[in-house]
Chain A
Amino acid sequence: MKIQVNLYGVFRSVAPSPSFSREAVEGTTVKDLMESLQLPDTVYRMALVNDIRVKEGTILKDGDEVHIFQPVGGG
């Protein structure tokens, strides 16, 4: 299945592009996706799937759009 991935802030630099499509096997969770992208797990992170915040255990479906953020607090 195909997943659309969007990375923001500190996660922007882990892939050549901040926005890309990625093949994933059935049953892939948000956490699996984060691990496959080698996102640092020491960093607090948040994912939206199709505009809604989800837990990392959420199973992805074909065509899902995932946005991955770190909260930013600077001002």
Chain B
Amino acid sequence: MKLREDQIERYSRQIILSEIGGKGQSKLLEASVLVIGAGGLGSPAALYLAAAGVGQLGIVDSDRVELNNLQRQIIHSTGDVGRPKVDSARDRLHSLNPDIRIIPYNLRLTSANIMEIIEDYDIIVDGSDNFPTRYLINDACVLADKPLSHGAILRFYGQVYTILPGESACYRCLFPEPPPPGAVPNCQEAGILGAVAGIIGLLQANEVLKYILGAGKLLNGRLLTFDALDASFREVKVLRDTDCPVCGDRPTITELIDYEEFCQL
């Protein structure tokens, strides 16, 4: 695609990078990314993907903005409290960059709707806040062969990695089944430092941009962990499990499961 003059100006500081150039910017403008969750991870990820000129950005969330979200969910403002998060996110992203298309999905993902939604996107960002959704996203992406950026946070800790189905370890290669209800606290119960959400969400955006551009080395097969108290990153190599129930050589999961029915967290 031919870049307009205002696009060349808007994206000039990244077009100048040899790994991007006009060709890379065109790839970004033609790309589509689905951000699941307009929360602690989805907020920074969506803002930076929009600013970079990702042409189509889908945002999935069924919640409304609450005052206690604003300490980390920086896509929303005080005046948005009470509004659907996808509306608030759409308005903020549109004011940041009217050059891109934003598609809000004010719904909760289930086995009945996820395949149809992810079909339209090149890569998926998991910024969800509960295990049933995380397993649903992982399985759907493996079954649909969609790349997935995984990010998760709690307290002062975060982790991020990239799943290329069939090539690198999926979420179930690491954690085959969801933890029993109540075995793992969530951010509401255990707390989260807002800056940790920002760091991990931005690493997810960084992975997505590299994937679209075909630049650098992705975090596929490498789980990157962040400890805010030590200010340290550690990388753990994770191999694909050939016995994985969904991406292994003889998968036992061949259709989607709604864990919500028995795994309320």
Contacts and interface: CB of A to CB of B under 8 A. Distances in A.
B16 interface: no
A52 B239 contact: yes
B187 A74 contact: yes
A75 B129 contact: yes
Nearest to B265: A73
Contacts, number: 96
A41 to B, nearest CB: 11
- Most A CB contacts (10 A, CB to CB) among B154, B155, B180 go to B154
A19 interface: yes
A71 B192 contact: no
Interface string B168-207: 0000011110011001101100101000010000000000
Interface stretch (B1-9, B34-42, B78-86, B91-99): B34-42
Contacts of B180: 44
Given A6-B234, A71-B179, A12 B131 contact: no
Given A53-B173, A73-B184, A67 B129 contact: no
A18 B234 contact: yes
Interface residues of A, number: 23
Contact of A75 (B152, B232, B241): B152
Interface string B113-128: 0000000000000111
Contacts of B88: none
Contacts of A53: 173-174, 176, 238, 241
B183 A75 contact: no
B70 to A, nearest CB: 16
Contact of A9 (B131, B154, B265): B154
B128 A72 contact: no
A39 B24 CA distance: 48
Given A12-B157, A74-B129, A75-B40, A46 B230 contact: no
Given A73-B152, A73-B265, A74-B153, A51 B237 contact: yes
A23 B131 CA distance: 36
24 contacts: A8-B225, A9-B155, A9-B159, A9-B225, A10-B155, A12-B157, A19-B234, A42-B183, A52-B239, A53-B176, A70-B184, A71-B131, A71-B175, A71-B179, A71-B184, A72-B157, A73-B128, A73-B265, A74-B152, A75-B41, A75-B42, A75-B128, A75-B129, A75-B153
Interface of B: 37, 39-42, 126-131, 134, 151-155, 157-159, 173-176, 179-180, 183-184, 186-187, 190, 192, 197, 225, 227, 229-230, 232, 234, 236-239, 241, 265
